[in-house]
């Protein structure tokens, strides 16, 4: 069974940095684009970023572009989200999600597996 397990969340001060990770297992990780999706407390889902299977291309929501960086290590089946210059608006549960079909990211295809998420709280 496909498993995605996020880690690295916690409390970070406004303006600070944090890196969250996602460990993937039971599928050929490099063959699928991956995304980060977040959910602020009591709010809906918000797509944050995506990365192609090779890691060669990345995509970002306007709300995080220039502050967040998504990367992956296919040798370790790991996905990362480096978060810089965070603000209270970045407080959310961060989920990693697997593209259903393809290594190339398009934005058209659904996410067929999600992790349980890791909570990031931005507060002084």
Partner 1 sequence: QSALTQPPSASGSPGQSVTMSCTRTNDDVDDYGYVSWYQQHPGKAPKLIIFEISKRPSGVPDRFSGSKSGNTASLTISGLQAEDEAHYHCSSYGGSSTVVFGGGTKLTVL
Site for partner 1, rule CB under 8 A: 35, 37, 43-47, 50, 59, 61-62, 95, 97, 100, 105-112, 114-117
CA distance linking residue 58 with residue 56, whole number of Å? 7
* Cβ atoms 85, 105 nearer than 8 A: no
Helix/strand/coil for 30: helix
Nearest distance, CB of residue 81 and partner 1, angstroms: 16
Q: How far is the CB of 44 from partner 1 (least distance, A)?
A: 4
* Nearer of residues 12 and 117 to partner 1, judged by Cβ: 117
Please say which residue, 73 or 112, places its beta carbon nearer to partner 1.
112
CB of 70 to partner 1, least distance (A): 13
Query: What does the alpha-carbon distance between residue 117 and residue 36 come to, in Å, rounded to a whole number?
Result: 10
Residue nearer to partner 1 on the CB measure, 18 or 50:
50
Cβ distance to partner 1 smaller for residue 86 or 96: 96
Smallest distance from the beta carbon of 67 to partner 1, in angstroms? 16
| Residue 83: burial class (beta carbons within 10 Å; 0-12, 13-18, 19+) | buried
């Amino acid at each position: 069974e496909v498993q995605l397990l996020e880690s690295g969340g916690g409390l970070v001060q406004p303006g600070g940095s944090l890196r969250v990770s996602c460990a993937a297992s039971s599928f050929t990780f490099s063959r699928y684009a991956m995304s980060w999706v977040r959910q602020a407390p009591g709010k809906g889902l918000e797509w944050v970023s995506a990365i192609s299977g090779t890691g060669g291309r990345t995509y970002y929501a306007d709300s995080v572009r220039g502050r967040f960086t998504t990367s992956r290590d296919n040798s370790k089946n790991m996905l990362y989200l480096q978060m810089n210059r965070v603000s209270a608006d970045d407080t959310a549960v961060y989920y990693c999600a697997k593209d259903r079909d393809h290594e190339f990211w398009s934005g058209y295809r659904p996410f067929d597996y999600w992790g349980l998420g890791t909570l990031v709280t931005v507060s002084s």
